[in-house]
Amino acid sequence: MGLLTNKVERDEIKAGDHIYTYRAVFTYSHHGIYVGGSKVVHFRPERNFNLITETSSDSYDPDPPSSCPTFPDCGFRQSNSGVVLSCLDCFLRNGSVYCFEYGVTPSVFLTKIRGGTCTTAASDPPETVIQRAMYLLQNGFGNYDVFQNNCEDFALYCKSGLLIVDRLGVGRSGQASSIIGAPLAAILSSPLKLLMPSPVGVATVTAGVYCMSRYATDIGVRSDVVKVAVEDLAVNLGWLTHHEETGEANETSNRQISMPR
């Protein structure tokens, strides 16, 4: 992987890696955790699985479901959950595979113009990452939210175990930070047009503000993040009461999903 791209070959990815692929001609990226055996655990809007007619304003669909002729368990998920197990082919949908970077230096982070490709936060060991992903496959990851709880947020949590305490701000996702950071940079740098006659100068300042706004929201430098065990995730986020969580855990413990080898 280099400064310009995180693209890798399929035979280079390892179990526990946070991978992603681009959709809609590089408009956005879809993220997941590679758990081995050509399988990926990832997070999608729950409504994608339901036959519900929605208005166009609510039809954001980053990864529509598909049937797989190769792997019988491809598409496995619990009811009322957006966490799904897919084969690598169905996850990529003919796209290239990219590997998300962890533990990068601030200077490297700032050179990555596009968000959602790296973080300064450290990754936990692969076995811990896979255990979190498989646990959330059985127990869910709450409601999908483009800005606060999306596929990148899911993969970042599986890799780091970090949870943001302030639920009113932007989530862990670098893509969401980029969406918010670009307009913010334009707004903050616009008064400088009166002081800088050169368009190049304004563009340079705007790019700097944009990169710094992304860096400030990275989970590796934020002060409002805590390490949360995956077993305590639902209670910490208020998805379930403790009684409901215990009941659901007992119910799903009887269902088996084969671990990829």
Phi and psi at residue 223, to the nearest 5°: -95, -5
* Identity of the amino acid at 101: E
Q: Residue 102's closest CA among 161, 158, 153, 159?
A: 159
Query: Among this protein's residues, is 74 annotated catalytic?
Result: no
Of the candidates 31, 42, 99, 211, the residue annotated as catalytic is: 42
Q: Which residues have CB under 8 Å from 168's CB, separation 6+?
A: none
Phi and psi at residue 8, to the nearest 5°: -135, 170
12: its two tokens: 């280079």
CB of 252 closer than 8 Å to CB of 139: yes
CB of 98 closer than 8 Å to CB of 6: yes
Of the candidates 87, 90, 99, 151, the residue annotated as catalytic is: 151
Distance between CA atoms of residues 240 and 229, nearest Å: 15
Q: Which residues have CB under 8 Å from 17's CB, separation 6+?
A: 33, 34, 99, 100, 126
Query: Among this protein's residues, is 151 annotated catalytic?
Result: yes
Looking only at the bridges linking them, the beta strands covering 18-23 and 97-99 are antiparallel
Query: Residue 98, class by beta-carbon neighbours within 10 Å (0-12 exposed, 13-18 middle, 19+ buried)?
Result: buried
Phi and psi at residue 42, to the nearest 5°: -145, 175
Q: Which residues have CB under 8 Å from 89's CB, separation 6+?
A: 38, 68, 70
Query: Among this protein's residues, is 18 annotated catalytic?
Result: no
Distance between CA atoms of residues 67 and 72, nearest Å: 9
Of the candidates 18, 30, 118, 211, the residue annotated as catalytic is: 30
Q: Report, as residue numbers or ranges, the catalytic residues.
A: 30, 42, 151
